[in-house]
Structure 1
Amino acid sequence: MTDNGARRNQRPVVADADEQWLVGVAAGASRDAGGVPVALLGDYLPLLADAAITGRKPKRAELDAVEALGRRAAEQGISAGRVVQLYLSAARRLWQDLPEVVRSRDREAVRAAATAVLQVVDDAVATLAEGYAVARRDLVRREETLRRELIDDLLRGDSDLGALVERAEPFGLDLARVHQVALAAPSRRLPDTDAAITALEAVIFDRLGDRDVLVATKDGLLVVLAPADANNPDTAPPQRTAADDLGRLMHDRLRRLPRGRPWQIAVGRPHPGLYGIARSYEEAREALTMAARLRVASPVVSARDLLIYRVLLRDQPAIVELVHAVLSPLTHARGGAEPLVTTLQAYFDTGGVATETAKRIHISVRAVTYRLERVHTLTGYDPADPAHRFTLQAAVLGARALDWPEKPLPASG
């Protein structure tokens, strides 16, 4: 027997004269639920009427049909609350307008009819909600897959522009605008992805709106694509920008999560167009890598602030030669070159103030002075001499960019 034939055999035994009455009940319930399509009721009303008249419980196949209606409602984008309201309103209206054949019975009969109706309502609504939830999970998984594929293609920057514009539109992205990319790196493994994404979306959508914003994961990092000022980023003033604000906004929210702390956020510079997204992403990745090499403790780093290292590394053979010529004698010091390079970096970062240097690297001022003298003795460059300071500082910057002395210097040929 076909499914349609089985359904016809299972339809409730409601008289044809009452069909118009049920149509009116369905229309009223639809209005109560804000215009939810009557078709989503399926055979629910005849099931209720049949339960009231005969006491019959719905069969498994009939409940399966209700579950399918719940899935259809989710796929149509109708909220779960409105669909449930449709079913509850239909039950209320049916009971209020039940024909005299039921309403005129004695008390026990009415009680039995009410119990049967409530049982159908309970089973149907629970089954409807289950079908809706299953469909929503499928839709979320499908959307997450599309989101992940889109973000991968956007960050790679070599995909077909026309296809990407079409795929980005459902996510509210205008690829002609100026965007920036921020990356959030957890201290260890990325924690609960869904919780982190939800937390970021809540605060970023509240601050920036839900258009031109995309939150996803890639390579163990949280990725945020957000709009930036429409001003030309190459002529933007050097003061704090929306990029810095985005980084602080992300860090403030992520640090409240129970796992993943401490987080470090890297924000790429804003650039226009599709290829600007990929460029901003690469800058953010480089900023994270450089921050790790430089042992930057700041929770938010900006690609703009690390541009000097990109400049240094553009001519790697030259910077390798500089580091080797200026700093390699430090390897002969007791304890190796690292303590002396660390002291030089802190000394330059604090404006050449020995007391602040001592506080920053947790040693005594006398130890700072001793180390600076050792640098002068071994290299011939005096950190306190303005004529020598630039050479030493450039060499230290290059050493950190190359991760020296932790790693050997690359071949300069």
Structure 2
Amino acid sequence: MGGASVAGSDDRWLAEVASGASRDAGGVPVELLGDYLPLLADAAITGRRPKRAELEAVETLGRRAAEQGISAGRAVQLYLSAARRLWQDLPAVVRSRDREAVRAAAAAVLQVIDDAVATLAEGYAQARRDLVRREEALRRELVDDLLRGDSDPGALVDRAEPFGLDLTRSHQVALAAPSRRLPDTDTAITALEAVIFNRMGDRDVLVATKDGLLVVLTPADGHPGPAPAADLGRLMHDELRRLPRGGPWRVAVGRAHPGLYGIARSYEEAREALTMATRLRLETPVVNARDLLIYRVLLRDQPAIVELVHAVLSPLEQARGGAEPLLGTLQAYFDTGGVATDTAKRIHVSVRTVTYRLQRIKDLTGYNPSDPAHRFTLQAAVLGARALEWPAEPVAGPA
């Protein structure tokens, strides 16, 4: 790069200009100037504009600056400072020209500065985009392997180290599910990263996506933030609800477990909690796996819970309108602590309707919802029905 017209220029002069510009920019390596100074000198002396290949070389230098971790501001400062110093210290051959010649030289130099700085910035930005994409890909792959729990432990420890993860600690996984598919998850990830890093620190925290869900992996012990890890779900939901798209959100938080395989266990609990919350038609936007352990107990012996639902609740299908209205009333009645007025408000009917339905349930099933001796059986049957998605999905009676 650089024309023959500057081949005999004072190399020591240009080296001094480069050295001064490097100091002005906080020690940015002079190598990142490449042949930029000869380009400027050429423009001042001959008015020559840079060729395409010369600008492509500047773009490469911009990429190199990004890869070396030099800020864009310092890289641009290096180029602007070099141009200022070069113009101030131009050889006497330029300073002795007439006014029009000096004006033409200045215009040529400014054009080179404009082209070079714009090209440098574009190269820098492209490199940063590539670095971000590579880091995102590595993060997604790491999260996938951590959540799957069947990868080589030694390799995972090495891969987790650059992200600040200490896999010997206890971690918990939280999942956020939008009500509809997000066209772009970057905004949601950025929002979650900002609030979680602020509260818990940026070490030992990962935010990523998997299967259409936002995934947050955080330590569950000894973090410096004021909010305990148990509040992770509420913290996430409060931030996500501010986004213009994706809501309403549902967040599920798995329990904390130690070690590498504890991460996969917490993830499975969070996924199961999301599924169960949907089946049970829970109104709360944040669910914790520990609060749904009773459903896991119920479903562990599925033949027994199927038999319970069939034996206790199947008579409700004889009611006008089917079993669902009565089942919904029963669930709301238990959720409100057996208060008919609160039940009516929750399901948007009159108290009289609630009273009638409770009596109808008693008549059909033989179980009285207001009788403590019957309540446990009815409530267990209702929980099982929701978990089995009955009556939408039929359950078979005993063989």
Q: Is the TM value for this pair above 0.5? A: yes
Residue in structure 2 matched with residue 136 of structure 1 by the alignment = 128
Structure 2 counterparts to residues 241-390 of structure 1, below 5 A: 242-390=228-376
The match for 2:158 is 166
The corresponding residue for 1:402 is: 388
CA distance in 1, matches of 2:148, 2:248: 28
**Residues 226 and 412 (structure 1), Cα distance of their counterparts in 2 relative to 1, 3 Å cut:** farther
User: For residues 90 and 71 of structure 1, what CA distance do their matches in structure 2 show?
Assistant: 19
Equivalences for 1:40-119 in 2 at 5 Å? 40-119=32-111
- CA displacement, residues 171-206 of structure 1 (integer Å, 9 cap, x when unaligned): 221111111111111111123111111111122112
Trace 1:210-225 onto structure 2 (pairs within 5 A): 210-225=202-217
1:118 to partner: Cα distance? 0.7
**1:227-242 to 2 correspondence within 5 Å?**
227-230=219-222, 242=228
Q: Once the two structures are superposed, what CA deviation does each residue of 1:203-249 show, in whole Å capped at 9, x if it has no partner?
A: 21122121111111111111111121249xxxxxxxxx834421111
Query: What residue number does 1:33 align with?
Result: 25
1:109 offset after TM fit, Å?
1.9
Report the secondary structure of 1:13's partner residue: helix
Report Cα offsets for 1:28-47 as digits up to 9, x if no partner: 11111111111111000111
The aligned counterpart of 2:176 is: 184
Tell me if the contact between 2:149 and 2:263 (Cα under 8 Å) persists in the aligned partners.
Answer: yes
Distance 1:51 1:98 in 2: 12
Contact 1:70/1:130 (8 A) holds in 2: yes
Q: C-alpha distance in 2, partners of 1:334/1:304?
A: 37
Conserved? CA contact 1:12–1:49, under 8 Å: no
1:16 CA drift (Å): 4.4
Which whole-Å CA distance do the structure 1 matches of 2:167 and 2:11 have between them? Answer: 54
1:344-391 CA-to-partner distances (Å, cap 9, x unmatched) read: 111111111111111111111111111111111111111111111111
Q: Distance in 1 between the 2:145 and 2:165 partners?
A: 14
Unpaired segments ≥5 residues, structure 2: none
Query: Quick check: 2:310–2:397 contact (8 Å CA) kept in 1?
Result: no
AA in 1 matched with 2:271: R
Q: Compute the displacement of 1:412 (Å).
A: 6.8
- Structure 2 distance, partners of 1:316, 1:192, is 39
Counterpart AA for 1:253: E
Q: What's the CA shift for 1:14?
A: 2.4
**How many matched pairs?**
396
Structure 1: stretches of 5+ with no match in the other structure: 1-6, 232-240
TM-score by length of 1: 0.92
Using the TM superposition, give the Cα deviation of residue 106 of structure 1 relative to its aligned residue in structure 2, in angstroms.
2.3
1:195 alignment partner in structure 2: 187
- The alignment-based identity, stated in percent, is 83
C-alpha separation in 2, matches of 1:243 and 1:15: 66
Q: Which amino acid aligns with 2:358?
A: L
Distance 1:69 1:352, change over 3 A: same
Q: Map Cα deviations across residues 326-354 of structure 1 (whole Å, 9 max, x no partner).
A: 11111111111111111111111111111
Alignment CA distance shift 1:164-1:87 (3 Å)? same
CA RMSD across the alignment = 1.7
Q: Distance in 1 between matches of 2:9 and 2:341?
A: 97
Kindly indicate whether the alpha-carbon contact (under 8 Å) linking 1:216 and 1:222 is maintained by their aligned counterparts in 2: yes
What amino acid does structure 2 have at the position aligned with 1:346?
Answer: A
Give, in angstroms, the shift of residue 112 of structure 1: 1.5
Q: Secondary structure at the match of 2:173?
A: strand
Once residues 150 and 222 of structure 2 are traced to their aligned partners in structure 1, the CA distance between those partners, rounded to angstroms, is: 23
Q: Take 1:366 and 1:253, find their aligned partners in 2: how far apart are those partners?
A: 40
Q: Is the 8 A contact 1:175 1:274 kept in 2?
A: yes
- Shift of the alpha carbon at 1:84? 0.7
Q: Secondary structure of the residue that 1:212 maps to in structure 2?
A: coil
In the TM superposition, what whole-angstrom CA distance separates every residue of 1:41-98 from its partner, at most 9, and x where no partner exists? Answer: 1000111111111111111111111111111111222211111111111111111122
Partner Cα separation in structure 1 for residue 344 and residue 7 of structure 2:
94
For residues 308-342 of structure 1, what are the alpha-carbon distances to aligned partners after superposition, in whole Å with 9 as ceiling and x for unaligned?
A: 11111111111111111111111111111111111
- For 1:123, the equivalent position in structure 2 comes to 115
TM-score normalised over the length of structure 2: 0.95
Q: Tell me the secondary structure at the aligned position of residue 226 of structure 1.
A: strand
